[in-house]
Amino acid sequence: MSKVSLEGQVAVVTGAARGVGELLARKLSARGAKIALVGLEPDELKQVAGRLHSDADWWHADVTDHEAMAQVAREVKDRFGKVDIVVANAGVATGGPLVDSDPVAWRRVIEVNLIGSAVTGRAFLPVLMESRGYLLQIASLAAITPAPMMSAYCASKSGVEAYAHSLRAEVGYKGVKVGVGYLSWTDTDMVRGADQDDVMRELRQRLPWPSNKTYPLGPAVDRIVDGIERRSAHVYAQWWLRGMQGIRGYLPALIGTVGQREMRRFEGRLGHVPKGLVGAGGAADESVRGR
């Protein structure tokens, strides 16, 4: 598929204060795109905007708030004149057994990752139809394979994958292309936050290669940028994830068998797994909500 020049394109990135969103904004800006940053951390967003190479602005908004995101979409259109690219990247995570989980944190993962993605799509699709643009929904390896201790995150990422595939059929005839981005464990605040818990870190290290590694952020984001330039339906931040698609039908049974063994191994330590949202982004989300 041929590449589309990003020079002069207007790209919206949610969850842009840190991690994948922040670096993606920088790399899109370096290719000439104008950037609209959306997130919950105004100080960080302002700093990111100030470091970009191209025209940029930022909006403080919760992606789960329909009215706020609709207003952001209007203001981005007024500020830049159009919107060509939207990357629904905002996300949070929590870990641990479902039965012991904090129900508010568990629900918040679904709200931000799944409902927030749909709210983002609802807000920006009208302007993307005007520009015949591209929506990239960030999913995860967690959409392809289930994993114990990650029920909320896996459910949310499976959900956004299905949502984006449905959306592709709805808006394709209007000229809007929709892609799904898949990332394995990548060196971000979220993954580092999860690794602070010994059980979660050891459980992940016992996964089969290559899913037991943490991958550098830069090359992963380079692959995402390449996918955006190609308006790809599927974007794989690590090379091997493409091959997972062909075997995903076998994974639930495999994980069910192996996962039981691992859960039995860690049973005596499960009560000590933190129950809140992980990483700096999770802390920011909880701070905004007063938790």
Would you call 269 helix, strand, or coil by DSSP? helix
The β-bridge relationship of strands 234-236 and 34-39 is unpaired
Angle at 281 between CA 76 and CA 59, to 5 degrees: 15
Reference 40, options 128, 96, 124, 108; nearest CA is: 108
Distance CA(281)–CA(40), nearest Å, equals 9
Angle at 215 between CA 210 and CA 219, to 5 degrees: 120
Distance CA(74)–CA(52), nearest Å, equals 22
Q: Is 134 a catalytic residue?
A: no
* 134, 153, 163, 236: the active-site residue: 153
User: Among all chains, which residue has been given the structure tokens 């602070």?
Assistant: 196
Tell me the catalytic residues. Answer: 153
